[in-house]
Amino acid sequence: MVDVHIIGQGLAGSVAALELLRAGQTIHVSNDPSLSHCSRTAAGLFNPLNFKTLSRTWNADVVFPVAMQFYKDSELQLKASFWHPLPMLRIIGSEGEQKEWKAALSGNHFAPFLNNDPVPEEMSAYNRGFGLGLVEHCGYLDTNTFLEAVTAMLNDKNIYSEYTCKQEPEKTNQGWNINGIESRRVLYCEGWKAMENPLFNWLPFFPVKGDVILIEDENLKLDHLINAGCFVLPLGNKFYRIGSTYYPDETDDVPTQKGREELLQKAEKVLKRPINISNQWAGVRPSTGDRRPFIGEHPGKKGIWIFNGLGSRGVILSPWVARQLSSSMIFGTPIPRETDIVRHLKRFRKV
């Protein structure tokens, strides 16, 4: 018997597993990595600004410090390197945006994030648009290294199984049984596949497919992360990741010609050179109608929980969301209304 049986080990399941173990809970994780590639496809970027509205991203002041501490602690615990801070250069796209940047630089609201330093020399060869803005507190999580390190730790503790969990949880005296694994609670972290789970398919998911490409170019000398309608992420050793496309309502992990061409066009415009693609991936973001995560206990089945709805910002949101979830599970602390699934209770009652 364990305290929590976690179904799914993408970013949500991995971060929840670490958080619950740190809180002294016993866990078991069941995962079929072949079902969804989302966390493995993700470029893993984090960035405190929304460039469309030139505003801070939702809850940035709260979620950023929690995430930074969480991933640094996890690197020490798992003895792996996956958290990579890297300043970002925004290529300003229009005269209007240029004015907004000037105003933002002179105000206090963005002061901690924007940097007025001269633009680095490396950019002289590339498209400079209407100017360049340097943004601090950005970078990326190497999601594959992170997920593999978590799987290895779970395997070492003998608390990991790899299979597709299709069975509905069966009620027992002390909690629930799935596939012979007895637990006090079950936590579903299935990404967009939760739309196919009869326990949670009433939640308003808004899946969004995305592609990323990998390029190799030894003449491209970029040390910064670039954002200009697409991102260009330097990975070292001549490799760069470029992404992402955004196709609402497409639900498969198959890379397409359409995605490839869109990214090629954007990348060639920024980098002013022909691009050679080495690889391409696609995944489906578990986004939600109101762009807020889904956490909480099933309204009709005590002990059945969900952690989902991370959308396009799984890296930075998941540690803070996992903390809310863990305190609610263990101590009954109320979950903030805007992330709690109770906000969609009317939909559940209609089903």
Binding-site ranges for ligand FAD (CB under 6 A): 7-13, 30-33, 35-36, 38-39, 41-45, 164-165, 189-191, 193, 210-212, 243-244, 283, 285-286, 308, 310-316
**127/179 with CB nearer ligand FAD:** 179
Structure tokens at 2: 């364990």
Percent helix, strand and coil across the chain, each to the nearest 5: 35, 25, 40
**104/213 with CB nearer ligand FAD:** 213
Only one residue has tokens 């089945």, namely: 301
DSSP-based three-state secondary structure for 2? strand
Q: Which residues pair with 212 in a beta bridge?
A: 243, 281
Which amino acid makes up residue 199? L
- In angstroms, give the least distance from the CB of 299 to ligand FAD: 21
Structure tokens at 341: 């699934």
Helices (H) and strands (E) in the chain, counts: 8, 22
- In angstroms, give the least distance from the CB of 183 to ligand FAD: 15
**124/278 with CB nearer ligand FAD:** 278
- In angstroms, give the least distance from the CB of 151 to ligand FAD: 10
**38/103 with CB nearer ligand FAD:** 38
- In angstroms, give the least distance from the CB of 115 to ligand FAD: 21
Residues 6 or more apart in contact with residue 302 via CB below 8 angstroms:
none
- In angstroms, give the least distance from the CB of 124 to ligand FAD: 27
**78/103 with CB nearer ligand FAD:** 78
**296/314 with CB nearer ligand FAD:** 314
Q: How far apart are CA 224 and CA 232, in angstroms?
A: 9
- In angstroms, give the least distance from the CB of 146 to ligand FAD: 11
H or E stretch covering 148: helix 143-156
- Spatial contact of 339 and 295, defined as CB atoms under 8 Å apart: yes
